[in-house]
Structure 1
Amino acid sequence: MSDTVIVVNTVIAVLATVLLIVRFRLNPVISLVVGAVYLGLTAGLGVEGTITAVTGGFGDILAEVGLLIAFGVLSGAMLHRAGAIERLVSALLRGCGPRGMPYATAVTVGTVLQSIFVDVLLVIASPLARRVAPRIGAKGLPRMATALAIGAECGIVFMVPGIGAVALAGVLGVPLGQMLVAGLVLVVPTVLIATAIMTVLLQRGWWDESVDEQAVVGNAQAPPGGSGADTPDVTDAPGAGGGSASGGTGPHTAADGAREVVPAAVSAPDAGRRERELSLLVLFGPLLIGLLLIAAGAVLDAAGVEQPVLAFLSEPVVALLIGLLGTTAVVGIAHGRETIDAAVTDGFRESGQILILTGVGGSLATTISDAGLGEILGRYFSANTAAPLLMVWLIAAVLHVAIGSVTISAITAAGVLAPVAPVIGLSPVLIALAAGAGALFAVHVTSNTFWLLQSLLGQSVRGTLKTCSVGVSIASVVAILLILPMSLVI
């Protein structure tokens, strides 16, 4: 089969997937499988080869990242139930002061808090940010809204154990320790630079309180149709299942026509049941130890040092299991068995949809690889050129504008370019970071993050387009500009 036919059919498969999601409101999981089957049949894989690629891709990526996602989500659910986020925000305000609060918030949300399911994170952190906003000076509300948006979205795709970062590592075969180190190196300057740029814009007359702010209405959740990158992406597109992936009851219309949603699963921490007040270091310590073990394993591997015990402990599954067991122990001591049981229920509900979507994303990526697209594109690229990274960024950006899902866009774009990496010698982690960066571009009204920030922080739609859409898009551009020089040393 000619190269042109394979390229054309790959483009058709991707566009058809987008069309099924956007135009016909078909569930993203079904749409991705349809796209993968079409590509396999039209690229000459045959019936057996197509089924093998679809099912094998699904199983391979879940074997790689399934337990990691489950352990991360469960740890985050327990920290939520323990009230750790509210206490951390209060500690940041005391430690960083008003001027540094937006920057501290962006970095913390983008790194330490990525184990927390993002809907839950925003529902808890947004009211706290609203109370902090008047204390940080001029334009406090939009600055805090921008910091939350940039930190939450960047962390998802760059920082392990963020859902997108773990999925990208699985699709591209990137060691999780390497993804953790590279993501940390990228996410911190990205969120700081993007937050600084937005601060300058907001303080120079770009924010108009009379039209960019409005009264807060209830505990708003997502509108019908989409969660963007920020919830399990089975509900990412219009009509993809509705409601919040975290179990919310969905949107209701108040008497004045404003959106109002009553979250069901996003409940307040069981503060009344606390028996012991543990320090934040103790609460977050087990998870941080797990991440440090993963990072240590990556460093030792790069240095060529063999240490069997540490090698075992630094295996991502083992390290995150240690973090989960430790978190279970400290939360159980402080809050009792009932809190642990409730957190496990929340975690299993949230992780199930994430795992399904991640698996079918792997199906499409494997089918694209088996179709031979990597060899074709490899003839036009070389490892010392920026073209592959810019291409994956652009593909992810276009897909995100069309679909509205950060995770789907990143996985699909990475799947298109994944076969190129071994052909031209390009590090797969760079493709993962570039795909994540592109998928951040133009977060808009199909994103659950957009509507959570709009409702919970008292912004108008116009205001949220400024703080969330523009702010995260700036972070997307900053990230790819930082990734390009990183490619010279990785």
Structure 2
Amino acid sequence: MPLVTVAFGVILLIVLITGFKLNAFISLIIVSFIVALALGMPVGEIVTSVEAGLGGTLGHIALILGFGAIIGRFIADAGGAYQISMTLIDKFGKRNVQWAIAASSFIVGIALFWDVAFILLVPIIYMISKELKISITHFGLTLAGALVVAHSFLPPHPGITAVTQEYGADLAMVLVYGIIIAIPTIVVAGVWFPKINKKWIPSAFEKTGNSEAIGDQKVWELEETPGFGISVLTAIFPILLMFAAAFLDISQKQWGFDDNLAIVIIRFVGNAPVALLISLLLAMYTMGISRKIPMKDLTASAGASINAIGLLILITGGGGAFKQVIIDGGVGEYIAGLFDGVTISPILLSWAVAVIFRICLGSGTVAALSTAGIVLPLLSSYPDANLALVALATGAGTAFASHVNDPGFWMVKEFFGLSLKETFATYTILSSVASIVGITLILLMDTSVILAGVAIAAILVAAVVFHKIEGARNKKQLMKDIGA
């Protein structure tokens, strides 16, 4: 009974990680061997399967994760992330500070992994909430929502990058679709939701934050940091290169022109590892050399970033090993047989499976790779499936219902000073809202690009109207207070 065996493996994984506090990478490898044996795989093939899954997963994304981490570290250490956040907040104004936080968190979240970006930006949120005398939860949920969306939908983050590779989707197209879907999702989950959520659980929005958890942070002077324009350019440069390659491919399919030297070069530099390597060199110059930072300091920053994500890379590889065992053990084929003759959207299926794994395992990266083990064998039955949207649907599923087995859940709880109940009622629901909005837009895009465009436009127009109404209501209340 393959499904029972996989369910047993998932339960065992949860017990090892949460019950025995065993390292996630070690737990994944142990469970991979046990599940392989339980599925009846020949003993001589188990090690080969585990090695193939680990190596196959890391063979492509290790470069992306490594380069992405170093770029993010350069930007953070130079104060570029601080510059982006404070400049946007200044330009948007105090009345629009929530939108500024959403925009800056999204930009920074593209370059930095979730936990790094969160720890880096929380002190800024804390400072703003203290100055404006508004609960840190209000702005903090906007920060968390933008980071969850960036982490789940956009390369070079590990989960979405890994499943893009596993499904054989085009990484540049995943990035293009991902940004189109991410922006309205952030509006709903990061901007609207906190305002609505405040009515459900007002006690959570009376918090002032946990100053002990935030601790003493480095105080930047804006004149000491790189300029806003160069900071943003450095953060999004790999996206620009990959966007150029994706636009070229779309245009070539549309108009059918032949390759030439310029096209070959654009396609080469738009390849994810090359784009990130070029961007790393740019970041080394803009965030370091041009600011007279010694090369030994840049080397130390690069080394520290690699050390910080070393375990993440291993966990990603462990998830790949578990995925490969599921495939080689025949589970995918068994499930494909169950769905033989049944019409079901591979996009909706991948989202649902990812949601189940996310709830069970906590780690979005492991959930994404485990989902690939189930969904990948089914894709052969859907030759016309848009693989980029299938990958994004998997990413959307990995955002669902962050709870006690997710480190991010505890970071939100501690930094914002929330109770367990309040964290469930705020961040857990927020992550679920982001997941549901994301999959809805993905399904619409798969059905009709025009319909998806109308839905996205409607969300953005509604956001403007909502903002105007909210502003008028706040102004009216202010005048009433002044009169009183």
CA RMSD of aligned residues (A): 3.0
The Cα of 1:63 is off from its aligned counterpart by 1.1
How far, CA to CA, are the matches of 1:102 and 1:453 in structure 2? 17
* Structure 2 residue corresponding to 1:327, chosen from 260, 283, 290: 283
Given that 1:143 and 1:202 are in contact with CA atoms closer than 8 Å, whether structure 2 keeps it comes out as no
8 Å contact from structure 2 (residues 13, 27) kept in 1: yes
Specify the code of the residue in structure 2 equivalent to 1:421.
Answer: L
CA contact (8 A) 2:54 2:320 kept: yes
Contact 1:396/1:410, CA 8 A, preserved across alignment: yes
Q: How far does residue 212 in structure 1 lie from its aligned partner after superposition?
A: 4.8
Q: Which protein is bigger by CA-based radius of gyration? A: 2
Residue matched to 1:88: 84
Alignment partner of 1:17 is 2:28 = no
Give the letter aligned to residue 445 of structure 1.
Answer: V
Query: Is residue 2:397 matched to residue 1:403?
Result: no
- Which of 367, 381, 387 is the aligned partner of 1:428? 387
TM-score (norm 1): 0.80
Are residues 486 and 329 of structure 1, via their aligned partners in 2, closer, same or farther at CA, if it must alter by over 3 Å?
A: same
1:75 to 64, 71, 75: 71
The yes-or-no answer on 1:471 pairing with 2:430 is yes
8 Å contact kept, 1:389–1:434 = yes
Q: Deviation at 1:342?
A: 3.2
* Residue 175 in structure 1 maps to residue 170 in structure 2: yes
Written as runs of structure 1 = structure 2, the 5 A alignment for 1:96-135 is: 96-133=92-129
In 2, distance between residues paired with 1:145 and 1:383? Answer: 47
Q: Which amino acid aligns with 1:118?
A: W
2:398 equivalent to 1:450: no
Secondary structure of the structure 2 residue equivalent to 1:40:
helix
> Does the Cα contact within 8 Å between 1:450 and 1:468 map onto a contact in 2?
yes
Report the 3-state secondary structure (helix = DSSP H, G, I; strand = E; otherwise coil) of the residue aligned with 1:219.
Answer: helix
Which residue of 200, 222, 226 corresponds with 1:278? 226
Q: Shift of residue 323 of structure 1?
A: 0.2
For residues 48-63 of structure 1, the aligned pairs below 5 Å read: 48-63=44-59
In structure 1, how many angstroms separate the alpha carbons of the residues matched to 2:116 and 2:10?
31
Hey, what's the Cα distance between the residues in 1 that align with 2:414 and 2:36? 43
Contact 1:287/1:320 (8 A) holds in 2: no
Return the alpha-carbon distance in structure 2 between the equivalents of residues 383 and 389 of structure 1.
Answer: 17
Residue pair 2:153, 2:182 contacting (<8 A) in 1 also: yes
| Percent identical residues | 26
Unpaired stretches in structure 1, ≥5 consecutive residues: 221-261
1:357 aligns with 2:352: no
Please tell me the residue identity of whatever aligns with 1:279.
G
Structure richer in helix, relative to its length:
2
Matched ranges for 1:5-44 at <5 A: 5-44=1-40
Asked if 1 retains the 8 angstrom alpha-carbon contact of 2:146 and 2:190, the reply is no
Contact residue 434 and residue 480 of structure 1 kept, 8 A: yes
Task: Indicate conservation of the 8 Å contact 2:347/2:389, yes or no.
Answer: yes
Q: Deviations over 1:88-119 (max 9, x none)?
A: 11111122233433234234423443222433
Shift of 1:59: 0.8
Counterpart code for 1:27? N
Mapped pair 1:298 → 2:246: yes
Structure 2 Cα separation of the partners of residues 196 and 54 of structure 1? 43
The answer to whether 1:340 aligns with 2:298 is yes
Contact 2:110 2:236 in 1 (8 A): no
Letter of the 2:156 counterpart: P
The letter for the 1-side match of 2:361 is I
Identify which range, 457-466 or 407-416, moves more after superposition: 457-466
Please tell me whether the aligned partners of residues 404 and 447 of structure 1 are also in contact (alpha carbons under 8 angstroms). Answer: yes
Distance in 1, matches of 2:209 and 2:247, equals 49
What's the counterpart of residue 317 of structure 1? 273
Q: CA deviation at 1:213?
A: 1.7
Letter aligned with residue 381 of structure 2 = V
Supply the distance in 1 between the matched residues of 2:341 and 2:379 (Cα, whole angstroms): 8
- Read off the aligned partner of 2:352 and give its amino acid letter: L
CA contact (8 A) 2:78 2:225 kept: no
Within 2, Cα distance between the matches of 1:448 and 1:14?
18
How far has the Cα of 1:200 moved from its partner? 3.8
Q: Structure 1 residues 219 and 22, CA, compared in 2 at 3 Å: closer, same or farther?
A: closer
Q: What one-letter code is carried by the residue in structure 1 that aligns with 2:423?
A: T
How many pairs were matched up? 438
Q: 1:26 to 1:287 in 2, by over 3 A?
A: same
Structure 1, 148-157 or 17-26: larger mean CA deviation: 17-26
Give, in angstroms, the shift of residue 205 of structure 1. Answer: 5.8
Q: Tell me how far apart the structure 1 counterparts of residues 389 and 344 of structure 2 sit (CA, whole Å).
A: 11
How far apart are 1:158 and its partner, in Å? Answer: 0.7
Corresponding letter in the other structure for 1:121: A
Partner of 1:217: 211
The amino acid across from 1:396 in the alignment is A
Other structure's SS at 1:208 match: helix
Distance verdict in 2 for CA 1:422–1:108, change over 3 Å: farther
**Maintained 8 Å contact 2:354/2:368:** yes
Q: Give the deviation of 1:58 after TM superposition.
A: 0.9
| Counterparts of 1:366 and 1:74, CA distance in 2 | 29
Distance across 2 between alignment mates of 1:48 and 1:193? 51
In structure 2, the residue matched to 1:251 is none
Mapped partners of 1:170, 1:394: distance in 2: 20
